[in-house]
Structure formats: structure tokens, C-alpha cells
Amino acid sequence: MRIGFLLIPLIVSGCAGLPKYKAPLANQPTATLKINHDFNAPFLGYSTFVNVHSEEESCGKSFGAESAAQLVILDDSNPLISPLNPDGVNLVADKKYTFMIMSVAGMSNCTTYASFKPKAEQNYEINVSGKLGAYDSYCKAELVRIDGKSKEASPMQFDYYGNCRESNN
């Protein structure tokens, strides 16, 4: 148990050097994005960390770039983690965003990458789910658009979805 609590800060420390996401200027057209997470995980809880960048390349050195930032931190039962933007954020409309979504429970973690261009005055959610365990971990992220009036969720496709490996180029 104690090792699990120690591993989370070590994993997160690699992302801690990133600045926090800055909201768009008031005169820019925006869309809203909320991240939700729901995992089958050990009783000690789990956390989800979402970093973002706005460069055109989905993979490679992009998360070390100047446009990278900590977007959202969600936590379920870990007193060592402070949430960040749990109620959502505004994104500049018609700009490509790539997300590195990492969920952690104890010594288990799962990471996926996804990107899309939000449209002005739209509401989006990314729902992250799966299983985090010592022997079997998997995760998935799903993008939905939420209708502003009816609150109905419509599934959408990411522009990119999968796993990336940082490049040395």
C-alpha cells in the first residue's frame, strides 16, 4: 500500500514541470471540455492526469514543447493529489488540441493520447474508463458532444487516438 502512494508522486513529478493551462482570452470563440473518469481500481483509489498541447503533431516531442500544459487532474480517494480544473475548461475553438491522458492506481498506470478540434460554443466531454490493477490494466477514452439544450450526449471520433512514444528527433 505504501509503495502505491509513493509511486504516484514519482509518476506525476515528470508532469509537474509543465505550467498549468491558461484559459483563452475573453474575446476568443471557445468550447467547453469536461473530463470524467471511472475505473475499476484498487480500494486505495486512483487519479487521472490530463496534459494538453496545441501543436499540429499528435506524437513525438510535442509534450515537451512550449505549448504543453497541465489541463486537468482528477482524483478518487488519494489525499496526496490536488484536483485541477475538475469542473472543466474552456478551449479556443477551431484549434487542434492533443491530450495525454494518464490514469494511475498504486503501481498500475495506463496512458492514451487523443486529439480533436473543438467547435465554437459546443460542450464536450472526454470519458476515461477501464481497469487499473497489478496484473491487468487497460484504459479507453471516449469523446462526446453534449447538446446545450437537451443535454443529450452524441458520440464523436477523435482526430487521433492511440499510444505515442516520445521521439528523440
What per-residue confidence (pLDDT) applies to 163? 83
Stated pTM of the model: 0.85
Q: Could you list the pLDDT tens digit for every one of the 169 residues in the chain?
A: 334 443 444 444 445 578 999 999 989 999 999 999 999 987 778 999 999 988 766 666 566 667 789 999 999 888 888 999 999 999 999 999 999 999 999 889 999 999 999 999 999 999 999 999 878 889 999 999 999 889 999 999 999 998 875 544 3
Report the DSSP beta bridge partners of residue 68: none
Helix intervals (H) in the chain: 2-16
Contact 40/132 with Cβ under 8 angstroms? Answer: yes
